[in-house]
């Protein structure tokens, strides 16, 4: 029977503590990160306010459209367009501010790995091939960029939006609706973490095969 050429430790769970190692790179540009988070919060508030403005616009259009009353839905339509514009514009400003943070982190991490490789003994380099090493470094720096953007642009805004939605449901419809949302989100988070642990071994095998291919090339 053909032996498995991939390492035996591919079934290890995801090391979530690695995310904490990204904080030094985020804290290097505190002002940029803070402004990016402000734009993120403002964009989320504008996004949540859009359905309410649309609701009041439709409700006002359903009434008597006299000259004076028509000013209210027109104003609401302008407010809806303004919120939509702010939602997109603030997202672009956020990406612009945070771009320097991620690029700087990728540069610093790549340089750190490069210096580390130069400090290793000759035996290590004689037993390795350049293609696989360069591919590992490239995949690592790209992974750092993804993780930083994922934390700031996905995890943080999603948690913020969930908190705002739960607060609105709790205020307007009572505890039962808010509790349903919270339990659903917790179940989804648990399932996502289990599924991520399960698929990590396949990603590891894919990375091993990719490094082997580049080494032979």
Express each pLDDT in 86-107 by its tens digit.
Answer: 888 888 888 888 878 878 877 8
Name the residue with higher pLDDT: 63 or 104.
Answer: 104
What gap in Å lies between CA 137 and CA 205, rounded to an integer? Answer: 17
Express each pLDDT in 8-45 by its tens digit.
Answer: 444 555 566 666 777 777 777 788 888 888 888 888 88
Based on DSSP, count helices (H) and strands (E) in the chain, helices before strands.
Answer: 7, 0
Q: Which residue has the tokens 């599924």?
A: 195
Domains of the chain: 29-216 (1.20.1560.10)
Q: Is the pTM of this model over 0.85?
A: no
Query: In the predicted model, what is the mean pLDDT of residues 181-207?
Result: 84
Is residue 37 within 8 Å of residue 148, measured between CB atoms? Answer: no
Backbone angles phi, psi at 169, to 5 degrees: -65, -40
Query: In the predicted model, what is the mean pLDDT of residues 199-210?
Result: 80
**Considering only 104-118, 138-152, 154-168, which range has the smallest mean pLDDT?**
138-152
Backbone angles phi, psi at 109, to 5 degrees: -70, -45
Is residue 10 within 8 Å of residue 197, measured between CB atoms? Answer: no
Query: Largest Cα–Cα distance in the chain?
Result: 86
Is residue 60 within 8 Å of residue 179, measured between CB atoms? Answer: no
Residue 16 pLDDT: 62
Minimal CA–CA distance to 137: which of 128, 148, 149?
128
What gap in Å lies between CA 74 and CA 16, rounded to an integer? Answer: 50
What gap in Å lies between CA 73 and CA 203, rounded to an integer? Answer: 52
pLDDT band at 187; cut points 50, 70, 90: very high
């Amino acid at each position: 029977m053909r032996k498995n050429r991939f390492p035996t430790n591919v079934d290890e769970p995801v090391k979530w503590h690695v995310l904490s190692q990204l904080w030094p790179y985020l804290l290097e540009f505190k002002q940029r990160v803070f402004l990016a988070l402000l734009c993120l919060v403002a964009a989320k508030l504008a996004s949540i306010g859009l359905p309410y403005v649309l609701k009041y616009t439709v409700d006002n259009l359903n009434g008597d459209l006299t000259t004076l009353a028509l000013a209210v839905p027109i104003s609401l339509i302008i407010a809806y367009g303004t919120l939509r514009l702010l939602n997109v514009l603030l997202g672009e400003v956020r990406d612009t501010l945070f771009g320097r943070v991620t690029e700087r982190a990728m540069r610093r991490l790549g340089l750190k790995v490069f210096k580390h490789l130069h400090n290793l003994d000759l035996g290590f380099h004689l037993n390795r091939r350049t293609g696989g090493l360069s591919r590992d470094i490239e995949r690592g720096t790209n992974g750092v960029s993804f993780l930083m953007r994922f934390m700031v642009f996905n995890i943080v805004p999603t948690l913020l939006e969930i908190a705002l939605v739960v607060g609105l449901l709790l205020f307007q419809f009572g505890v039962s609706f808010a509790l349903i949302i919270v339990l659903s989100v917790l179940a989804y988070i648990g399932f996502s973490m289990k599924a991520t642990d399960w698929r990590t071994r396949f990603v590891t095998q894919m990375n091993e095969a990719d490094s082997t291919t580049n080494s032979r090339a």
